């Protein structure tokens, strides 16, 4: 995982007000506070401009010989390059665009289901979004067997617990990079080392980690990775990365005239070109944050991304600490990592309850006070069971990203105190 450590100086140098000025939704929001970012983030003006530019300037099918169509081909190629830089892919041809993360995970699981041999075991976790569990369990009729890697009481997956689950029968380990529900960060580089030593592959759900830290498929050594653009400051779309040779071997559906090569063999039909242009602009936005933190000379686009994501990580660590204090002060039961000394193991996504108070009521009261948070099972039924929470009421989640501020955290805290006093 990213070894970059927080440093309060860089957190205080983070240009959050300049950043907020780039997001039209934040400028128009008045008093409203966006604290449901794990369900989808806002987009900067540059992303909106890229989408509009596509729709107004060249909203035609790609693959034609006329200028507008050629421009679409170019913009898709540029987006592949940008996303490849964002995650440090070996090549842009490993980047596949589509609707969302879930459909990509299912696409890979369908392919792997056709290749099961005596290596038929798949490791899944009880800390993941169900999109990265149910899609694998659906391979049971194809003969897959499952091993469960369980979260420990301390709110994280421990690689020591993975070791005994992996053997020469393991086909794949499917796990999250960061839990969307409770914010815990997994040591995925260690996961890949353990899986590869046994000849197994690793599928990473990076949907939740993407907006919070530096992605690096080469450093992590994984085989597949999936992200949802709409969590990464872009419009609704998703992308899948796989090693070129791995994707080449994966059985997929394609018409005969589509090249049997990544990325084309993975991208059935037409995807949303304007949103892919938006994703390209979102990567450039993250680069622009990094440019503030690096000297002028000799920096590559990837250097800017690295600097931008490290600055975001430092700033968010500070937000996590503030949020933790506020929640503890309100008497919250925090699910996941709650120890001040382990803040580097989490992102600012907080799942909690307050005694026996109804999560739904608290979230409704928050909505009335112009604060958008979420209650429920967080699409993580197995985690809810693990935490002894009912699927009906579940928990409350407040999820922050780098455009949130300490002032917002404090306003959230005041609102929570008022609500708890009212409902108790």
Ligand X SMILES: Cc1ncc(COP(=O)(O)O)c(C=O)c1O
Q: How far is the CB of 328 from ligand X (least distance, A)?
A: 25
Q: From the list 176, 234, 404, 405, which residue makes contact with ligand X (rule: CB under 6 A)?
A: 176
377 touches ligand X (CB under 6 A): no
Please tell me the count of residues contacting ligand X according to CB under 6 A: 13
Q: From the list 131, 266, 363, 389, which residue makes contact with ligand X (rule: CB under 6 A)?
A: 131
Q: From the list 101, 127, 133, 175, which residue makes contact with ligand X (rule: CB under 6 A)?
A: 101
Helix (H, G, I), strand (E, B) or coil at 226: strand
Question: Which range touches ligand X (CB under 6 A), out of 42-50, 97-105, 345-353, 392-400?
Answer: 97-105
Distances in whole angstroms, Cα of residue 80 to Cα of each of 18, 73, 179, 198, 253: 28, 11, 26, 32, 21
Question: Which range touches ligand X (CB under 6 A), out of 4-12, 128-136, 290-298, 311-319?
Answer: 128-136
d(CA 89, CA 83): 8
Q: Binding to ligand X (CB under 6 A): which residues in 254-293?
A: none
Is residue 393 within 8 Å of residue 359, measured between CB atoms?
A: yes
With tokens 């949103």, the residue in question is 275
- Our CB check for ligand X shows the closer of 40 and 413 to be 40
DSSP 163-214: GGG-STTEEEEEEESB-TTT-BBP-HHHHHHHHHHTT-EEEEE-TTTTTTS-
399 touches ligand X (CB under 6 A): no
- Our CB check for ligand X shows the closer of 72 and 172 to be 172
- Our CB check for ligand X shows the closer of 72 and 309 to be 309
Q: How far is the CB of 136 from ligand X (least distance, A)?
A: 13
Question: Which range touches ligand X (CB under 6 A), out of 127-135, 212-220, 287-295, 333-341?
Answer: 127-135
- Locate the DSSP E strands across 263-383: 333-335, 349-353, 371-372, 374-376
- Our CB check for ligand X shows the closer of 102 and 170 to be 102
Q: From the list 54, 58, 129, 284, which residue makes contact with ligand X (rule: CB under 6 A)?
A: 129
Q: Would strands 170-176 and 121-125 be described as parallel, antiparallel, or unpaired? A: parallel
- Our CB check for ligand X shows the closer of 235 and 238 to be 238
- Our CB check for ligand X shows the closer of 229 and 290 to be 229
Q: Report CA 259 to chain centroid distance, whole Å.
A: 30
Distances in whole angstroms, Cα of residue 233 to Cα of each of 40, 89, 280, 302: 8, 20, 10, 18
- Our CB check for ligand X shows the closer of 129 and 265 to be 129
205 touches ligand X (CB under 6 A): yes
Q: From the list 113, 238, 290, 359, which residue makes contact with ligand X (rule: CB under 6 A)?
A: 238
Q: From the list 2, 6, 75, 102, which residue makes contact with ligand X (rule: CB under 6 A)?
A: 102
Residue 304: name the closest of 315, 294, 314 by CA. 294
Residue 28, number of CB atoms within 10 A of its CB: 8
| DSSP-derived secondary structure letter, 6 | P
**Binding string, 55-94, against ligand X, x = CB under 6 A?**
----------------------------------------
Q: How far is the CB of 95 from ligand X (least distance, A)?
A: 16
Q: How far is the CB of 68 from ligand X (least distance, A)?
A: 29
100 touches ligand X (CB under 6 A): yes
180 touches ligand X (CB under 6 A): yes
d(CA 156, CA 191): 13
Q: From the list 80, 208, 397, 402, which residue makes contact with ligand X (rule: CB under 6 A)?
A: 208
Residue 121: name the closest of 145, 141, 142 by CA. 145
378-408 burial code (b ≥16 CB/10 A, e <16)? bbbbbbbeebebeeebbbbbbbbbbbbbeeb
243 touches ligand X (CB under 6 A): no
Helix (H, G, I), strand (E, B) or coil at 361: helix
Q: How far is the CB of 161 from ligand X (least distance, A)?
A: 20
Is residue 44 within 8 Å of residue 233, measured between CB atoms?
A: yes
What H or E segment, with its residue span, contains residue 301? Answer: helix 301-329
Q: How far is the CB of 157 from ligand X (least distance, A)?
A: 13
228 touches ligand X (CB under 6 A): yes
126 touches ligand X (CB under 6 A): no
Q: How far is the CB of 21 from ligand X (least distance, A)?
A: 27
56 contact partners, CB below 8 Å, separation of at least 6: none
Residues that bind ligand X (CB under 6 A): 100-102, 129, 131-132, 176, 180, 205, 207-208, 228, 238
């Amino acid at each position: 995982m990213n070894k970059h450590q927080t440093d309060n100086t860089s957190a205080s140098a983070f240009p959050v007000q300049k950043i907020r000025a780039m997001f039209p939704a934040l400028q128009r929001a008045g008093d409203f506070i966006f604290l449901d970012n794990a369900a989808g983030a806002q987009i900067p003006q540059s992303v909106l401009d890229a989408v509009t530019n596509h729709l107004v300037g060249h909203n035609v099918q790609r693959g034609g010989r006329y200028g507008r169509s050629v421009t679409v081909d170019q913009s898709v190629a540029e987006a592949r390059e940008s996303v490849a830089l964002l995650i440090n892919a070996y090549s842009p041809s490993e980047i596949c665009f589509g609707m969302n993360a879930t459909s990509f995970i299912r696409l890979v699981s369908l392919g792997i289901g056709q290749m099961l041999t005596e290596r038929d075991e798949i490791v899944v976790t009880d800390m993941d979004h169900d999109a990265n569990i149910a899609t694998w369990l659906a391979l049971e009729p194809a003969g897959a067997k499952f091993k469960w890697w369980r979260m420990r009481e301390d709110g994280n997956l421990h690689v020591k617990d993975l070791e005994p689950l992996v053997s020469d029968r393991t086909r794949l380990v499917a796990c999250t990079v960061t839990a969307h529900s409770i914010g815990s960060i997994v040591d995925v580089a260690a996961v890949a080392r353990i899986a590869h030593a046994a000849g197994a592959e690793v599928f990473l759900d990076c949907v939740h980690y993407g907006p919070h830290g530096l992605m690096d498929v080469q450093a992590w050594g994984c085989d597949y990775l999936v992200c949802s653009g709409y969590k990464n400051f872009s419009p609704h779309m998703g992308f899948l990365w796989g090693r070129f040779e791995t994707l080449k071997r994966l059985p997929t559906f394609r018409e005969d005239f589509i090249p049997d090569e990544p990325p084309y063999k993975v991208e059935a039909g037409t995807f949303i070109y304007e949103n892919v242009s938006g994703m390209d602009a979102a990567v450039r936005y993250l680069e622009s944050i990094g440019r503030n933190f690096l000297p002028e000379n000799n920096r590559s686009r990837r250097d800017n991304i690295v600097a931008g994501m490290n600055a975001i990580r430092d700033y968010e660590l500070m937000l996590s600490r503030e949020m933790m204090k506020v929640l503890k002060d309100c008497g919250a039961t925090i699910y996941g990592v709650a120890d001040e000394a382990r803040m580097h193991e989490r992102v600012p996504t907080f799942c909690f309850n307050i005694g026996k108070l109804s999560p739904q009521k608290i979230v409704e009261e928050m909505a009335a006070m112009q604060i958008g948070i979420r209650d429920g099972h967080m699409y993580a039924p197995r985690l809810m069971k693990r935490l002894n929470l009912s699927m009906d009421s579940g928990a409350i989640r407040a999820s922050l990203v780098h455009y949130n501020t300490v002032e917002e955290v404090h306003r959230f805290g005041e609102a929570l105190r008022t609500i708890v006093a009212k409902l108790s």
